[in-house]
Amino acid sequence: MQTLRITLCAAAMTVAFAANAAEVEVLHWWTSGGEAKAAGELKKMLEAKGDKWKDFAVAGGAGENAMTALKTRVVSGNPPAAAQIKGPAIQEWGDEGVLASLDDVAKADGWDKVLPKVVIDTMKYKGHYVAAPVNVHRVNWLWVNPELLKKVNAKAPTTWDEFFKTAEALQKAGIQPVAYGGQPWQDSTVFETVALGVGGVDFYKKAFISLDQNTLKSATMVKVLETYKKIKPFTDKNAAGREWNLATSMVINGKAAMQFMGDWAKGEFLAAGKVPGKDFLCVAAPGTANAYTFNIDSFAMFKLANKDAVKGQNDLASTLVSPQFQEIFNLNKGSIPVRLGADMSKFDECGKQSAKDFAADNKSGTLVPSFAHGMAMHSATQGAIYDVVSQFWNDDNMTAKSAADKLATAAKTK
Ligand code: GAL
C-alpha cells in the first residue's frame, strides 16, 4: 500500500513537472565546433528555466538547408517553436501569418531601450516584435595564419595589391595562399567583401540595397568581378563544395594562409584552442577597414496552440536578449552582443575591434547589411544573385562584363 502511494505520488509529481516544463523545438544550423559550443550555452540557459530544448539542427553553412527544412514543416502545419530566421526574411514569414508576437517579453525586458534601432526595425513585423536578436557578426574579415605569412616576410595585406602580391609569394614558396569553400553562399560572402573593398560603401549600397541597374552593370562592377575571379588561382583544386569550417581548419592547421569569412570563423579558432593576435590574426579584408558588413542572427517564433509551448517561447526570447546570454554565447560564437553598451571586457581584440568599428561605422553611415547573409534583399533576389556569382566563379569562359549584365537581370527577381 505504502509503496503504491509513493509510486502514485511520484507519478503525479512527474505529470505536474511535465505540465510546466515546456518543450521548445529550435531550428538552427549551428553544427560546427564553435557554433555548437555557442548553441550549447543557449540550451543550458533555457533548461535552467525548466524548459526542455528539442534540437532541430540542420547542418549547412548560412542555413540554406535549414530554410528548406523549415518550409516543409510549416507547409505541413507542424512548425517548430522557434527558428533561426534573419533580416528581410522575417517580413516574408510575417506575410505568411505564421509568426507569434513577442511584444509581452519585449516590453517586460525593455527591448526598445536596449537594442539599436536598425535591429528593432528588423525584428518587428507591422510594429510587433516577432523575432529576438542574438548577436552581430561582421562579415568583411580576413583570417590569417601569421606563421605562414612570416615565411614569405609578409604582413597581413590591407590593399588588394598587397593581397595579390602576398598570395603570389606564398604560392611560389609552396604554401596554399587561400582556403576556400566553393558553395553558393560562400562564393557570395567573398564576392560581397571584394565589392565593398574595390567599389566602396556607396557602390555597395547602390548595388545590393537599391539594386540599381546602372551600378550593377557598371565598369566598377566589372572591376569587382575581375578582382574576385583573380582570387581563384590562389585556391586549391579541392575547394569546390568544401564546408566553410573545413576551410577555416586549413588556416588553423597551417595548410593554408588566409580565409575570407565572417567572424563565426573565430569561433572555430577559439574552439581549437587558438589565441587571437598570436596563433591567428583577424584583419579587415583589403580596402574595407572603414566599413562594416553586418549579419545579425535572430530567432522568430511560430504561432502554436499549446500554452506551455508559448511559455517556452517566451523563456527562449527572454534568454536570447539577456545580458548574461549575450556575453557567454558571443564569446563562443565569434560575434559581439547586439545590446547597446554591452560590457566587452571579457572579449578578445577581434571582438573589441568589431564593437568599436560597429559603433563608428554606424555613426558615419558605413555600416552595410550583408547581402550574402540575408540582410539586404528579398530571399528570391538573393538566390538569383547567388546563382550568377557562383556561375561566374565556376565558369572560366564567362566574362566579367556578361556576369555584370546577368547580375542586373538577377536583381529584378522578386
Ligand atoms: C551565417 C550565420 C552565422 C554562421 C554562418 C555559418 O549566416 O549568421 O551565425 O552560422 O552562417 O553557418
The alpha helices in 182-263, defined as continuous H runs, are 184-208, 213-216, 219-230, 244-252
Cβ–ligand 1 distance for 137 under 6 Å, the answer: yes
Nearest CA to ligand 1 atom 12: 61
The predicted structure's pLDDT at residue 18: 45
From the CA atom positions of the chain, what is the Rg in Å?
A: 23
Residue 246 buriedness (CB in 10 A; 0-12 / 13-18 / 19+): middle
The predicted structure's pLDDT at residue 4: 38
User: CA–CA separation, 94 vs 357, rounded Å?
Assistant: 32
Query: Which ligand 1 atom is at minimum distance from the Cα of 60?
Result: 12
Q: Distance from the CA of 63 to the center of ligand 1, in angstroms? A: 7
Residue 19 has pLDDT above 90, yes or no: no
| 56, β-bridge pairs | 27
* 296 in Cβ contact with 119 (< 8 Å): yes
Query: Which ligand 1 atom is at minimum distance from the Cα of 295?
Result: 8
Q: Distance from the CA of 61 to the center of ligand 1, in angstroms? A: 6
- CA torsion, ordered 106, 112, 114, 118, to nearest 10 deg: 110
- Cα 292 to Cα 197, 209, 287: the distances in Å are 11, 15, 11
Cβ–ligand 1 distance for 266 under 6 Å, the answer: no
Query: Which ligand 1 atom is at minimum distance from the Cα of 30?
Result: 10
For 23-135+296-346, CATH gives: 3.40.190.10
Tell me the per-residue pLDDT of 157-197, one tens digit each, with 9 for 90 and over. 999 999 999 999 999 999 999 999 999 999 999 999 999 99
* 294 in Cβ contact with 288 (< 8 Å): no
Backbone angles phi, psi at 321, to 5 degrees: -90, -10
Cβ–ligand 1 distance for 29 under 6 Å, the answer: yes
The predicted structure's pLDDT at residue 17: 43
Query: Which ligand 1 atom is at minimum distance from the Cα of 296?
Result: 8
The pTM of this model reads: 0.94
Average pLDDT score, the chain: 95
Q: Distance from the CA of 57 to the center of ligand 1, in angstroms? A: 13
The predicted structure's pLDDT at residue 316: 98
Q: What amino acid occupies position 129?
A: Y
The predicted structure's pLDDT at residue 21: 74
Residue 6 has pLDDT above 90, yes or no: no
Domain span(s) for CATH 3.40.190.10 in the chain: 23-135+296-346, 138-294+353-410
Cβ–ligand 1 distance for 366 under 6 Å, the answer: no
Nearest CA to ligand 1 atom 8: 297
Tell me the per-residue pLDDT of 353-405, one tens digit each, with 9 for 90 and over. 999 999 999 999 999 999 999 999 999 999 999 999 999 999 999 999 999 99
The predicted structure's pLDDT at residue 348: 98
Q: What amino acid occupies position 167?
A: A
The alpha helices in 48-145, defined as continuous H runs, are 64-75, 89-95, 103-108, 111-114, 117-123
Residue 345 buriedness (CB in 10 A; 0-12 / 13-18 / 19+): exposed
Q: Which CATH superfamily, name and number, covers 138-294+353-410?
A: Periplasmic binding protein-like II (3.40.190.10)
Averaged pLDDT for residues 333-343: 97
Cβ–ligand 1 distance for 371 under 6 Å, the answer: no
